[in-house]
Structure 1
């Protein structure tokens, strides 16, 4: 007789220690990997703050702060809220817009002139106009493709079913990722989007190393990155548990 036992759940690990950016690597468009231009990513009051206080202008400096090691199957959770800061020379779509990239290429493989990493994004949005729906926890796909409702979806972004939140509300976000099979986005504990088969493909990412972008290749692991696109945002309680 075979006995089955439930798998022991791994402990949660803090990716952000609440004190400094130890273990994190910045990569900002038009700058070398490791250069935290104008102190874009900083720690204040136990939170990671994306700040443009020392910028003269945005200058298409799309940035990401990557954790130093890749992950494959995992449960990631964090809390975020936006700040009032937004650079008016950034594209209008970046207003009250940020995100967390995952299954990304390594920061070291992102070229200095490359704008976005080849990755999948948990997109975070807040209310832009009062009374107009703008869900958060959406999926965007720079240099990647996913399957939604059984078919490869041509859209760069797929909206979730979440409610709309004010910019100054703290939101609890979660990602549950099973390699290159199935992915769930959660907002405040509710599953708001599910899709499958993340793979390299599609457009949007520009000036990448062509040897990296092998369209159709499954994305079964990669790096996690916090986004900076001209909108100020705060991150806290960044925890991961490998599955």
Structure 2
């Protein structure tokens, strides 16, 4: 039997079907609104990024440590001299300590950060054992122009990027806290690092990770969409000599700051660094 429905009824039915979440999906998710993402790395050059390498002034990209090659942001040490790899610590022990950071030009508070990275090749000679296949996303960081000449790390929250050694378990997206503390599982967490629950990524494979940052309220580390670590109230550590000068009027909570990536002796490549601003409400 054929029904001759009025055109107004057909139009209403079409609108109803197109807006039905059960048939066509709910409103586009944040991940689907690609136009809203800010590409922090443009795939062409280091526009918007400035290095600060230990022992060198802010803005000096010593030995072209950070560079763009074949569309990738690369951390490389092929321009380093033997003397760069043989520095002495206070105990007279030889080792690499020319740690560096590459800072993005803007500061952020509420956002989703998505990064694709991989480790390649071998660690530089005399690199510290803990720095094998080690990089990091330094969030809520200090103004790099305020770092001292020989400061190793910016005061920040470090989302640690780690690669496996081919045999042992070694999670990525751990937390380290240079000059900071956080509240973890309801308690103030003062140790320097804690591990996530992520799996291990061995070899030179590309890894995609996300960090959800909501000011001083909560920070979530995510791998494959799963939360592998969560904490709240990132804050300056009054005991730390590099953090103490940053405390103004007793305020220690960190609700915004810089974003940087590291050079800690492990050659690293990044093919995507993008950020989605989130509603602070």
Normalization by structure 1: what TM-score?
A: 0.91
* Residues paired across the two proteins, number: 235
Which one has more relative contact order, counting CA pairs under 8 Å at least 6 apart? 1
Show the counterpart of 2:255: 220
Q: List structure 1 runs of 4+ shifted beyond 6 angstroms.
A: none
Show the counterpart of 2:184: 148
Do residues 237 (structure 1) and 262 (structure 2) align? no
Query: Is the 1:52–1:85 Cα contact (8 Å) retained in structure 2?
Result: no
Q: Measure the CA separation in 1 of the matches of 2:230 and 2:160.
A: 14
CA RMSD of aligned residues (A): 2.1
1:87, distance to aligned residue in structure 2 (A): 1.2
Show the counterpart of 1:118: 155
Q: Measure the CA separation in 2 of the matches of 1:144 and 1:38.
A: 30
Please state which structure has a larger fraction of its residues in helix: 2
Normalization by structure 2: what TM-score?
A: 0.79
Unaligned ranges ≥5, structure 2 = 1-26, 88-96
The SS at the match of 2:130 is: helix
Equivalences for residues 94-173 of structure 1 within 5 A = 94-128=131-165, 130=167, 132-173=168-209
Q: Measure the CA separation in 2 of the matches of 1:202 and 1:159.
A: 24
1:167, distance to aligned residue in structure 2 (A): 3.1
Do residues 52 (structure 1) and 80 (structure 2) align? no
**Alpha-carbon distance change, 53 to 180 in structure 1, aligned in 2, over 3 angstroms:** same
Unaligned ranges ≥5, structure 1 = 1-5
Show the counterpart of 2:16: none
Query: Is the 1:127–1:165 Cα contact (8 Å) retained in structure 2?
Result: yes
1:202, distance to aligned residue in structure 2 (A): 6.9
1:128, distance to aligned residue in structure 2 (A): 2.3
Show the counterpart of 1:27: 52
Q: Measure the CA separation in 1 of the matches of 2:39 and 2:207.
A: 18
Select the structure of larger CA radius of gyration. Answer: 2
